[in-house]
A = this chain, B = another copy of it.
Amino acid sequence: VERLSLWRDGPARSAILTYVDRVTTSGSATFVPPAARIAVFDNDGTLWCERPSSPQAFFLLERLHVQAASDPDLAAKPIVRALLKGDLHAAMAEGLGPFADVLLRTHAGLTVDEFVAATTAWFDRAVHPRFDVPYGSLVYGPMLELMDLLRAASFRVFIVTGGGVEFVRAVSDELYGVSPDDVIGTSVELKAERRDGRLVLVRQAALHGSPNEGEPKPINIQSHIGLRPIFAAGNSAGDREMLEYASTGPLPSLALVIDHDDEAREYAYRGASFTDPHAEPITDTAARLGWTAVSMRRDWARVFGEDVAG
């Protein structure tokens, strides 16, 4: 089987294959023991399509429509009105914080099991406005190949997302082969309650700590994994610190930045940080620090699976 068959020959594909060979060749000076082979991937815009907005934003919108229909006060709020008009960019312009706040209120009071059930049901029925397929079909085939290549080389593959950890976990195994405990993301406060003698965990209307963007990414990687990654992939300024953390350790490392430059098959945009909209574009950071840029247009033979036009 050809390695990375969905990647066109070029500097990105070569950099990946060379790197994996370097760290897995026994006896070489660049060999890395398997226990230290930790790979981390951002999710939105790195593993799945985040335009015109992230799947989680659409998930929120659907629930918000239901709630606003019976709650005029809620429906009158500016961010809610923007969302209900379908103006997702305006609603997200205020950053992840206010956006997350609305999301949290829509699902506060659900147990974690109820939330997972709501999430998987939504993935089963919702379709993307442009591609007209389920959101689960809009994962990047070349990145799935890359994750498989790394696992075959004894890497452990983690997802480190700014999105809600329970939202991504609900589908991480099915979409990516990543088990729930290998997903690190933005968390909500939980409260333990006893109901009919059973202990259940209930989602609260508050974030637990900061959104998992920017500096919190390496800190949450350490909290969760306890090891510095040697491979990282991202696509926005919110991934910068994670990419820096992975690429400035003592072991040979590779940092990939996905460049969304393919309007025809996906979208053309610069990935911004939700928490710092004025941050340096990550493609500029990558060029300055010698990270490996991945051009969707140039480097990927396909973007999505065969069931997606484009």
Residues of A within 8 A of B (CB): 35, 112, 156, 165-166, 169, 173, 179-183, 187, 190-192, 194, 197-199, 201, 208-209, 215, 218-219, 222-227, 241, 244-245, 248-249
Kindly report which residue of chain B lies nearest to residue A166, judged by CB atoms: B226
Asked if B197 and A227 make an inter-chain contact with CB atoms under 8 angstroms apart, the answer reads: no
The 10 closest A-B pairs by CB, nearest first: A180-B226, A198-B248, A181-B225, A199-B244, A169-B226, A190-B219, A192-B215, A199-B245, A199-B248, A201-B222
Q: Which chain B positions have C-beta within 8 A of A225?
A: 180-181
Give Cα distance in the complex from A201 to B191, angstroms.
Answer: 29
* Known contacts A192-B215, A194-B244, then 10 further A-B pairs from the complex at CB < 8 Å, ordered by chain A residue: A180-B227, A181-B182, A181-B226, A183-B226, A192-B245, A198-B248, A199-B248, A201-B218, A201-B245, A208-B223
| C-alpha gap A191/B218 in the complex (Å) | 9
CB-defined A-B contacts under 8 Å, sample of 18: A35-B173, A156-B181, A166-B226, A180-B226, A181-B182, A190-B222, A191-B219, A192-B218, A192-B219, A192-B245, A194-B244, A197-B248, A198-B248, A199-B218, A199-B245, A201-B218, A201-B245, A209-B209
Instruction: List chain B residues, Cβ under 8 A from A179.
Output: 35
Q: How far is the CA of A225 from the CA of B192 in the complex (A)?
A: 16
Distance between Cα atoms of A156 and B245 in the complex (Å): 28
CA gap between A82 and B242 in the complex, in Å: 42
Number of copies: 2
Give every chain B residue within 8 A of A209 (Cβ-Cβ).
Answer: 208-209
Contacts of A226 in B (CB 8 A): 165-166, 169, 180-181, 183
In the complex, what's the smallest C-beta–C-beta distance from A19 to chain B, in angstroms?
19
- The residue on B at minimum CB distance from A244 is B199
Q: How far is the CB of A291 from chain B (nearest CB, A)?
A: 13
Q: How far is the CB of A4 from chain B (nearest CB, A)?
A: 27
- Smallest CB gap from A188: residue in B: B223
**Chain B residues whose CB sits within 8 angstroms of the CB of A191 once the complex forms:** 219
Are B199 and A241 neighbours in the complex by a CB distance under 8 Å? yes
> What is the minimal beta-carbon distance from A160 to any residue of chain B, in angstroms?
12
Of all chain B residues, the one with the shortest Cβ separation from A225 is B181
With known contacts A197-B248, A199-B245, A218-B199, A223–B190 Cβ distance under 8 A: yes
Complex Cα spacing A166 to B222, Å: 9
A187 and B223: CB pair below 8 A?
yes
A222 to B190, CA, bound (A): 9
Cα A35 to Cα B172 in complex, Å, equals 13
* Inter-chain contacts of A227 with B (CB < 8 A): 180-181
